[in-house]
Amino acid sequence: MTALVYGLAVAGESTVRALLRHGVAVKVADDTITDARLALASELGVELVDAAQTSAERLLDGCTLLCPAPGVAEHHPIIIAAQHLGLDIVSEIELAYRWEQSRPDGPRPMLAVTGTDGKTSTTKLTVAILEAAGVRSVDAGNTDTPLVDAIDARNDDGTEMYDAFVVECSSFRLAFTPTFRADAAAWLNVQPDHLNWHTSMASYEAAKAQVFANQRPDDVVIGFANDAAVMGHLATAPGRTLSFGLTAGEYRSEGGLLIGPSGTIAPITSLRRTLRHDITNALAASALVLETGLADVAAIERALGTFIGPAHRLERLGSHNGADWFNDSKATTPHAASAAIRSFENIVLIAGGADKGVDLSSMADEAWRCTGVLAIGATASTIANIFASVTRVESVGTLERAVERAAVWASPGDIVLLSPGCASLDQFTNFQVRGEAFRMLFTQLAGQQLQGVSA
């Protein structure tokens, strides 16, 4: 067997290493050849082929498997050529799943989480609950740990590091999963996103639906009760179906409690933060662990009391001149930005960024919550137009300028919220870099305030 790994960034590197560990011959190609990637290929002992100088058919010659990196879109010539040739196209989570099935002691439990927004927080919370229950687990897949690395991870004494896996499933990875299945899978929501990667919204939704496609009748299927599209797929899923929602579903909130089919799970006050999506994420995570028997309600309550969500997701940075500042750089979709906006009133909103080909207008559905909007990046004019009903709207271009203006606009009791609703790639490497830049700018601002006080 020979595999072509297409793309030698983070996931591509892990895929090459994993294939070599498992005795598979590897070819590597990339659209962009850099000195760093050439050095990495040399370290790995593989040749890195410049795809821009070689036809897709020639690259695939002699290969039985194509392993595209997540950045390789479904309309990329290499994907089209592989489909024409009838080759097996698999993401890294599909590879890992196949190898895990042949584990001598049998496969370990896999839980899966997908959705347009909320995947990372729900995945990490699920891991925290499992750890509280004494189950060694890891958030893998669309995270810092590819699943191909997680399944092979060993302690210093050679024993396996994990008892179970919680797989964050992006549409990029799910699009190429002909056999991947999870013992329990949760689909949080679906809204237009990544339409520059997928050929259509239907294609994007179909990729997400793969999280249920290969499940068995005794597997657990979990969906958000208030999302009609998700519930439509839930109705045709092969597993045992359950829903969750703020007030609807087998898993819901009621009377200040998180409730499941067997009764009370935990008081909502157990959560360190109780915004609406915090509650629904907790319900989805609870369903995953309770329905598989991997944790009990005591473990859930312990984890809820200590869990701190990942950075750049409605992360409170602090206060300046009586206004609270929040970093929500991970809100790279209108749906995510809308959820953040619904969480507050008297908002000075910083929004905009790279265009992913989606309609941004839903961000302004509750524009009344905003006292001002500062538009940045490539979509600044669009953001300014959709928030035209707000008293103060200004296109400022850069994040630095937005922070300067926000500091002037915000009054005591206001919320300054970076929730872009757009990708970051017009001005930043990724949403993390954008969020860290915002944090640094706020820290400088707060430092100036402290210096003024001490003076």
Do 350 and 431 fall into the same domain? yes
pLDDT given for residue 453 in this prediction: 40
Regions in the chain scoring below 50 on pLDDT: 450-455
**Amino acid symbol at 259:** I
Claim to verify: residue 206 and residue 280 sit in the same structural domain: yes
What CATH code is carried by the domain that includes residue 420? 3.90.190.20
Looking at the structure, do residues 272 and 421 belong to the same domain, yes or no? no
Q: Do 194 and 171 contact (CB within 8 A), yes or no?
A: yes
Q: How far apart are CA 44 and CA 13, in angstroms?
A: 9
Closest CA to 417 of 318, 345, 327: 327
Q: Same structural domain for residues 212 and 237?
A: yes
pLDDT of residue 449: 55
81 and 136 housed in the same domain: no
| pLDDT value for 258 | 98
85: domain CATH number?
A: 3.40.50.720
> Do 70 and 82 lie in a common domain?
yes
Report CA-CA distances (Å) from 107 to 99, 176, 287, 362: 9, 21, 21, 43
**Same structural domain for residues 123 and 212?**
yes
Query: Is residue 148 domain-shared with residue 250, that is, in the same domain?
Result: yes
Distance CA 139, CA 272 (A): 21
Looking up residue 116, the CATH number of its domain turns out to be: 3.40.1190.10
111/236 same-domain check: yes
Query: How many domains does one find in the chain?
Result: 3
CA distance readout (Å), 171 to 55, 190, 221, 260: 27, 11, 17, 28
Confidence at residue 450, expressed as pLDDT on a 0 to 100 scale: 45
User: Which of 273, 306, 339 corresponds to the end of one domain?
Assistant: 306
Which residue segment(s) compose the domain that 48 sits in?
Answer: 2-89
d(CA 123, CA 232): 23
The region, left, alpha or beta by phi > 0 then psi within -120 to 50, assigned to residue 113 is beta
Residue 152 shares a structural domain with residue 271 = yes
